[in-house]
Chains A and B, each alone.
Chain A
C-alpha cells in the first residue's frame, strides 16, 4: 500500500465521517469501520478488525477513539494514528461546541428528535447487518468452542450484565488454556 497523501486523506475523512455517525456508544463505530475499511477499501482483514476491537475494549478510554487509533496505526503508522484520532475527535468536538450554547432549544426540538429517532432504527439495522455477517461466519466455522463462546458471552452480557472487561479476560484465558493443552497433546502425539 502506497502511503501517499491520498491514503492519509481517505483515512482522515473516513474516520471523520464514521465518528460523526456513531450514535449510541462505541460499538457502533466498529461495524461502520468494518464496512468501510474491510469490505469497501480492503485495507484490513475482517479478523483483524475484531482483534483490534478486543484491544480497544480492554484499554481505558472511549472505544471509538481507541478503535480509530488502532486502525489508523495499522494502515498509516504513527501519522495514520494521529490523523484518525483527530478524525474521531473532531465531529463531537464541533457538534458539542455548537449546541452547548443552545442545548435547551435543541433538546426540545420535535424535528430534531424525529430525525434522531429515525436514525436510531438505521443504526440498529447497520449493527444487525454486521452481526449477521460476522456471526454467520463463526457458525459456519463449525467450531463448537467458538460458537459456544459466542453464545456464552452474549448471555453473560445481555442477561446478566457482566462487565465486558471480565468477559474479554475470561475468553482470553480460556482460549489460551485450550491452545496450550492442544499444543501439549499435539506435541506428545508427534513424539509418539
Chain B
C-alpha cells in the first residue's frame, strides 16, 4: 500500500511541469480515478484546503491523501515520492548551470530568461492582488464588488515594505492580524 502511494505521487511529481494548478488534473487522475483513494467531494475539499494553507498544492495533496490512507507514515511516503523526481532533475540542471553558465551563449539565454521570469512573477502577483481586492481573478468580475479594506491593507503593506523596509514575513503576519482585528470590529 505504501509502495503504491509512493509510486502514484512519484508520477505526479515527475509529470507536473509548470507547478501549482498544472498538477491538479494529474492528482485527480491518480487519486480519484485510478486508485479511488478519495471521492470527488473529498478531492474538492482538498483543493479548498490547499488554497487556504501555505505550500505547494502537490505537497498538500500528498500529505492529505497519505494521512487519509495510512496516517503519518502515509503522509511522509507520499510527500517523499512527490519530491524525489523533481529533486533529481533539478539537481542535474543545477550542475549543468554551474558548469556552463559562463559560456557566451548561456549568458545570452539567461539574460533573456530573466525578464521573462520577472513577467511571470508579476502575473502571479497580479492574480493574487485581484483575488484580494475583488474576490476573483477573472476580469468579468472586476466591476463587481470591489473591496476597499483589502485595498487599503495592500497599500499600507506596500508602504511598509518600500519605505520602512520591514521584513516580508512581519508584513504578512501584520496583515493577517489586522484582518482578524477588522473582522472582530465587523469590518471584514
- State yes or no: do A and B come from one complex: yes
A181→B120 CA distance, assembly (Å): 27
Could you say which residues of chain A place their CB within 8 Å of the CB of B119?
149-154, 157, 167
Q: Is the CB of B56 within 8 A of A62?
A: yes
Q: Known: A21-B169, A69-B90, A125-B154. Contact between A135 and B118, CB under 8 A?
A: yes
A73→B140 CA distance, assembly (Å): 43
With an 8 Å Cβ cutoff, the count of chain B residues facing the other chain is 97
Could you say which residues of chain B place their CB within 8 Å of the CB of A106?
49, 52
Determine which of A19, A23, A119 lies in contact with B179 in the assembled complex, contact meaning CB atoms within 8 Å: A119
Determine which of A19, A31, A127 lies in contact with B55 in the assembled complex, contact meaning CB atoms within 8 Å: A19
> Which among B98, B121, B162 has the greatest number of chain A C-beta atoms within 10 A?
B121
Could you say which residues of chain A place their CB within 8 Å of the CB of B89?
59-61
Interface flag for A124 (CB, 8 Å): yes
Determine which of B59, B90, B111 lies in contact with A56 in the assembled complex, contact meaning CB atoms within 8 Å: B90
Could you say which residues of chain A place their CB within 8 Å of the CB of B115?
138, 146-147, 149-150, 153, 171
Q: Is the CB of B129 within 8 A of A91?
A: no
Q: Is the CB of B123 within 8 A of A120?
A: no
Q: Known: A81-B87, A97-B67, A168-B113. Contact between A92 and B54, CB under 8 A?
A: yes
Q: Is the CB of A123 within 8 A of B87?
A: no
> Which among B63, B79, B179, B183 has the greatest number of chain A C-beta atoms within 10 A?
B179
B15 to A: closest C-beta gap in Å:
6
Q: Is the CB of B17 within 8 A of A165?
A: yes
Determine the main DSSP class of B at the interface with A. helix
Interface flag for B128 (CB, 8 Å): yes
Interface flag for B68 (CB, 8 Å): yes
Instruction: For chain A, residues 1 to 59, give those with C-beta under 8 angstroms from any C-beta of chain B.
Output: 17-28, 30-32, 35, 40, 47, 50-59
Determine which of B93, B114, B175 lies in contact with A121 in the assembled complex, contact meaning CB atoms within 8 Å: B175
Q: Known: A60-B14, A121-B154, A145-B112. Contact between A150 and B180, CB under 8 A?
A: no
A17 to B: closest C-beta gap in Å:
6
Interface flag for B35 (CB, 8 Å): no
A22 to B: closest C-beta gap in Å:
5
Q: Known: A127-B125, A127-B128. Contact between A149 and B116, CB under 8 A?
A: yes
Could you say which residues of chain B place their CB within 8 Å of the CB of A150?
115-116, 118-119
A54→B119 CA distance, assembly (Å): 12
Q: Is the CB of A122 within 8 A of B175?
A: yes
Could you say which residues of chain A place their CB within 8 Å of the CB of B183?
110-111, 114-115
> Which among A22, A74, A126 has the greatest number of chain B C-beta atoms within 10 A?
A126
Q: Is the CB of A121 within 8 A of B150?
A: yes
Instruction: For chain A, residues 43 to 95, give those with C-beta under 8 angstroms from any C-beta of chain B.
Output: 47, 50-66, 69-70, 73-74, 81, 85, 89, 91-93, 95
Interface flag for B23 (CB, 8 Å): yes
Residue interface bits B66-86, CB-to-A below 8 A is 1, else 0 = 011000100110010011011
B72 to A: closest C-beta gap in Å:
7
A127→B171 CA distance, assembly (Å): 12
B86 to A: closest C-beta gap in Å:
2
Could you say which residues of chain B place their CB within 8 Å of the CB of A163?
18
What are 25 A-B contacts defined by CB distance under 8 Å?
A: A22-B56, A24-B51, A24-B128, A26-B19, A27-B120, A27-B121, A51-B114, A60-B17, A61-B89, A62-B13, A62-B58, A63-B56, A69-B87, A92-B53, A103-B49, A106-B49, A121-B157, A121-B175, A122-B153, A124-B157, A125-B154, A128-B158, A129-B158, A168-B117, A180-B105
